[in-house]
Amino acid sequence: MTRALTIALDGMGGDHGPATVIGGADIALIRHPSIRFVIFGNEAVVGPVLAKYPRVASASDFVHTDVAVAMDDKPSQALRRGRKVSSMWRAIDAVKEGRAQAAVSAGNTGALMAMAKVILKTMPNVERPALAAIWPTARGESVALDLGATVGADEHQLVQFAAMGEAFARVLFNLKQPTIGLLNIGEEEVKGTENVKGAAQILRSSHLASQFHGFVEGDDIAKGTVDVVVTDGYTGNIALKTAEGTARLVVDYLRQAMASSLLSRIGYVFARSAFKVLSSKLDPRASNGALFLGLNGLVVKSHGGTDDVGFASAIDVAVEVASADLVAKIEADLDKLKQLGGAGDNEKTKTPESEAVLS
């Protein structure tokens, strides 16, 4: 950490509420001792949990809110009920007011996206925001987007996603020129939808041309063929949930195999350290925390079902991007695209609610 940062936390979000949020904040403070929090939530619910974590309490300001957005609320319902009074709204609004440099919530994704768009607004050259996250690969890590913020995307929106993802990868991985790939059903130029092929054509003539790898397939995500994988929210969310389910299945299979016989249990004793490394690499909590890109502010979405370890990872993402002034870097890249005619027209899709599908 090079400067003090304040992170706004939605204390009521997620399947487990304050226990996960405050516990995650405590872990994050060990990693980032200089950060502060402003926590929003119902005092009767959050207060007793906060009292168990004196380190978090001393590094936080707490703001009482009466309303909490339910995980199954529709975005329109959340906007009506929670507008300006819910813990989720107040956490995002803290970013707009400059009271915090980023907000983190494990709450309802559709509601979070809708509120973030209403409060922070999209950048001038962005039609639709994208949800971007870190994806573990054979080479290390990649950035994948969109993972659920926008269902369907035209060629200009996919190009915008590419520019935003490229800036995100530069910040996270300290790369000068991250490589970019468009997720497709094949590497051949004739394959794919017109929108995907159109996006490829624009990227080849843009300032990102030297970084554009071309089309990548589903197995290229795990291989780490490129640093940034670009797709629409519908396809991206399916790929994400498939990968998470497969990782859990592999871990379950290993546990069953190691407990299947006496010899297997003995073998596990000798290979325990190797299995711990594998389990750590397959643990989705380590890469928890997706960022809404394209907004005039930083909002990180934690998985709703994660625990305190996973929520701490989401705070890590918030600290990283806030420290690196990611919003300014994305704006600079989108300005270059606009000058080349590849950014599209953001006026046609400025609606208050998103088409978020991730839960």
According to the model, what pLDDT value does residue 358 have?
42
Cβ contacts of residue 276 below 8 Å, gap of 6+?
Answer: none
Give the pLDDT band of residue 359 (cuts 50, 70, 90). very low
b or e along 202-232 (b: 16 or more beta carbons within 10 Å of the residue's beta carbon)? bbeebebeebbbbbbeeebbeebbbbbbbbb
Identical fold, 6-127+287-324 and 130-285: yes
* Dihedral angle sign, alpha carbons of residues 18, 19, 20, 21: positive
According to the model, what pLDDT value does residue 351 have?
44
According to the model, what pLDDT value does residue 353 have?
41
CATH architecture label of 6-127+287-324? 3-Layer(aba) Sandwich (3.40)
Domain spanning 130-285: which CATH class is it, in words? Answer: alpha beta
Q: What angle do CA 276, 278, 221 make, to 5 degrees?
A: 155
Task: Kindly list the domain boundaries of the chain, sorted by start residue.
Answer: 6-127+287-324, 130-285
* pLDDT over threshold 70, residue 342: no
According to the model, what pLDDT value does residue 347 have?
46
According to the model, what pLDDT value does residue 281 have?
67
| Digit-coded pLDDT (tens) for 145-177 | 999 888 888 999 999 999 999 988 988 888 999
What is the average pLDDT across 339-351? 51
Tokens for 44? 């009767």
pLDDT > 70 fraction of the chain, expressed in percent and rounded? 91
| Digit-coded pLDDT (tens) for 80-121 | 877 789 999 999 999 999 999 999 999 998 899 999 999 999
Residue type, 38: V
| Digit-coded pLDDT (tens) for 40-76 | 999 999 999 999 999 999 999 999 999 999 888 888 8
Give the pLDDT band of residue 355 (cuts 50, 70, 90). very low
* pLDDT over threshold 70, residue 317: yes
CB 24 within 8 A of CB 48: no
* pLDDT over threshold 70, residue 279: no
